[in-house]
Amino acid sequence: MKPIDGRGVAAGIMAEVSATAAELRAAGTDPTLAIVVPTRDEATAWYVRSIERAAAKAGVTSRIEQLTDPSGDDVADLLGKLSADPSVHGIICQTPLPEGVRLDEVAAHIAPRKDVDGANPTSLGRLAAGLPTFAPATAAAVLELLHHEVGDLAGARTVVVGRSTVVGKPAALLLLNEHATVTVCHSRTAELAEVCAQADVLVVAVGRAHFIGAEHIKPGAVVIDVGTNPTADGGLAGDVDPAAAESRAGSCTPVPGGVGPVTTALLLRHTVAAARG
Amino acid sequence: MKPIDGRGVAAGIMAEVSATAAELRAAGTDPTLAIVVPTRDEATAWYVRSIERAAAKAGVTSRIEQLTDPSGDDVADLLGKLSADPSVHGIICQTPLPEGVRLDEVAAHIAPRKDVDGANPTSLGRLAAGLPTFAPATAAAVLELLHHEVGDLAGARTVVVGRSTVVGKPAALLLLNEHATVTVCHSRTAELAEVCAQADVLVVAVGRAHFIGAEHIKPGAVVIDVGTNPTADGGLAGDVDPAAAESRAGSCTPVPGGVGPVTTALLLRHTVAAARG
């Protein structure tokens, strides 16, 4: 099994983003990503810091908008204000949101041209319709890694496990736009292993550590593991059992070091693209 | 093989729509569907007349907005004007559109609450996100017929052939919301017959007369045929070979008399729902 080098792919994107950011600055535009943080959650803070570090490295300004105990309306109002602010080019909204508030409801207040994580339902609809738009960065990272690893996806028998609005569904729609044959599985799928084992390309985004075993993997398959499940020792575990991937897959993304760094790099690529207009 | 009675299902919906329309009229609201017709195409005119007849039967007012040689902007402006008109509750836009104009681009000017054929990309995104919205009527008709024929779709192995924005993709998204396991196939799919033959539920929307043969149908499968291909004698042929369906399927929608009448009935159901608010 060949590990897929997410950090290497991310480095390539970061170099390209840095060059674009430098051009923008030379032309008088300071590419800026606003990050709305509606929580004091520690894991969220850790993730936000990792975006800040990557942005600084690429020459993108990050602007943290920390909210304390906001209502859903507070979050929506802030997203609307940032959408109208010409000094902001990209906007993302972190989770968890206040109890009972849905991300896609508040994200409808992010202007589509600044929606660099594709969270506004309009962005998702434009993605489904094949219109130009920003895809959710994690789903875009799946495609970026597959282009790197497989190249042409036309006709590829692909299975996506997980149907979330932020990963599974947009990844499936992006794969369809690339002419793959796409099956979406989830918690209610009967005979999951049998369906997965037909996949030349297997994308897993279920959020359960080591959920995918050898019986789910067709020998030689390309496996993209989107899972980032916290472990007892403070590390991260993927959704795919590494021993199973080792014995069966042709190639597989590691966790950490696979989808994660590419996701962050793509958020920044989307931000400089939004700044360039 | 048992034919699936689309006309019977449509009649049930029409009875319900008539009752709601009568209630609305009694309360002083005249439920109104605006139909924008940007073409003199004969097939389109025929379809518009069939909607008018069904609307009249249900007590829904239809308002035909015929345009002659419009530009894309003319169509978009009219859709925006109707969106702002409080006497209009539902809006649909017919095709073909002027050369080079995309339906999903102009349909972005239909207010989502009046978008009874789910043509605005925002409606499609809300559908993908599982938020309340109007689905494209044809895709909704597929689900209506499957609920009638199969009942619970959770875990059902489902294959959708065709990935259009108006049928294939929204039908796949609706099936996912119903917990089916969904595969989307299309012109670039390798081994199409093999993939289709795994389906307990097969939905076909490719627009090629009698394209699906016995080799595509799992014995006993429920088959929904969305195709309406004009025949040399002025009739309609489905995408599924009727002889193949007869010999292999458990049940199948006829063409005509399957998906078509249910689609029209659902446009009207959506219109009275929009009028009720």
pLDDT number for residue B157: 98
**Cross-chain CB nearest to A104 (options B131, B165, B172):** B131
In 3-state terms, what secondary structure has residue B2?
strand
**Closest residue of B to A179, CA-based?**
B188
Question: How many Å apart are CA A238 and CA A226, to the nearest integer?
Answer: 7
Q: Answer yes or no: same fold for A28-115 and A137-260.
A: yes
Which residues, other chains included, contact A121 with Cβ-Cβ below 8 Å and sequence gap of 6+? A104, A107, A108, B122, B125, B126, B128, B129, B131
User: Is the separation of the CB atoms in A224 and A258 below 8 Å?
Assistant: yes
Q: What is the pLDDT of residue B160?
A: 98
**Residue A265 identity:** A
CA-based nearest distance B158→chain A, Å: 9
Chain A positions touching B124 (Cβ under 8 A) are 124-125, 128-129
Find the Cα–Cα–Cα–Cα dihedral A165, A167, A170, A174, rounded to 10°. Answer: 180
Cα–Cα distance for residue pair B226/B141, rounded to 1 Å: 9
Pairing of strands B181-185, A181-185: antiparallel
Residue among B111, B82, B103 at smallest CA distance from B166: B103
Structure tokens at A112: 């589509």
**Mutation for A interface: B101, B117, B122, most A CBs within 10 A:** B122
- Domain boundaries along the sequence of chain A: 28-115, 137-260
DSSP state of A83: H
Of A104, A173, A183, the CB nearest to B183: A183
- Joined together, the tokens standing for residue B236 give 């309609």
How far is the alpha carbon of A4 from chain B, nearest alpha carbon, in Å? 26
B28-110 is classed in which CATH architecture? 3-Layer(aba) Sandwich (3.40)
Is the ipTM higher than 0.90? The answer is: yes
Please check whether residue A205 touches B, CB under 8 A.
Answer: no
Residue B257: the pLDDT is 97
- Say which residue the tokens 């929904």 belong to: B224
pLDDT (0 to 100) of residue B207? 97
Per-residue pLDDT at B17: 98
By DSSP bridging, strand B236-237 and strand A251-252 are: unpaired
| Chain B, nearest residue to A105 by Cα | B131
Give the model's pLDDT for residue A191.
94
**CATH code for A137-260?**
3.40.50.720
Smallest Cβ distance to B182: which of A126, A131, A184? Answer: A184
Taking phi over 0 as left and psi of -120 to 50 as alpha, with beta for the rest, B210 belongs to left
* A182 vs B124, B165, B183: nearest CB: B183
CA A73, A78, A83: angle at the middle one, nearest 5?
Answer: 125
- Residue B195, min C-alpha distance to chain A (Å): 9
Percentage of residues in chain B having pLDDT higher than 90: 99
- At the top level of CATH, the class of A28-115 is alpha beta
> Looking at beta carbons, which residues of chain B come within 8 Å of A199?
none
* Pair A44, A66: CB distance under 8 Å: no
The neighbour count for residue A22, using CB atoms within 10 Å, is 14
pLDDT tens for the 277 residues of chain A, in order: 999 999 999 999 999 999 999 999 999 999 999 999 999 999 899 999 999 999 999 999 999 999 999 999 999 999 999 999 999 999 999 999 999 999 999 999 999 999 999 999 999 999 999 999 999 999 999 999 999 999 999 999 999 999 999 999 999 999 999 999 999 999 999 999 999 999 999 999 999 999 999 999 999 999 999 999 999 998 999 999 999 999 999 999 999 999 999 999 999 999 999 999 8
Give backbone dihedrals phi and psi of A252, rounded to 5 degrees, phi first: -155, 145
Give me the residue from B123, B154, B188 closest to A179, CB to CB.
B188
B216 touches chain A (CB under 8 A): no
Q: Could you give the CA distance from residue A124 to residue B128 in angstroms, rounded to a whole number?
A: 7
Q: Name A120's Cβ contacts closer than 8 Å, sequence gap at least 6.
A: A104, A107, A108, A109, A110, A112, B125
Ranges of chain B whose pLDDT falls below 70? none
Task: Supply φ then ψ for residue B84, to 5 degrees.
Answer: -90, -10
CB B228 within 8 A of CB B238: yes
Q: A6-26 and A259-276 helices cross at what angle (nearest 10)?
A: 20
Q: How far is A119 from chain B, CA to nearest CA, in Å?
A: 10
| Spatial CA neighbour of B205 closest among B251, B169, B152, B254 | B169
Is A61 within 8 Å of chain B by CB?
Answer: no
Q: What is the pLDDT of residue A26?
A: 98
- pLDDT of the residue at A154: 98
Query: Do residues A185 and A164 touch, judged by C-beta distance below 8 A?
Result: no
Residues in chain A: 277
> What is the residue whose two structure tokens read 């600084």?
A56
DSSP states of A223-251? EEE---EE-TTS-EE-SB-HHHHHHH-SE
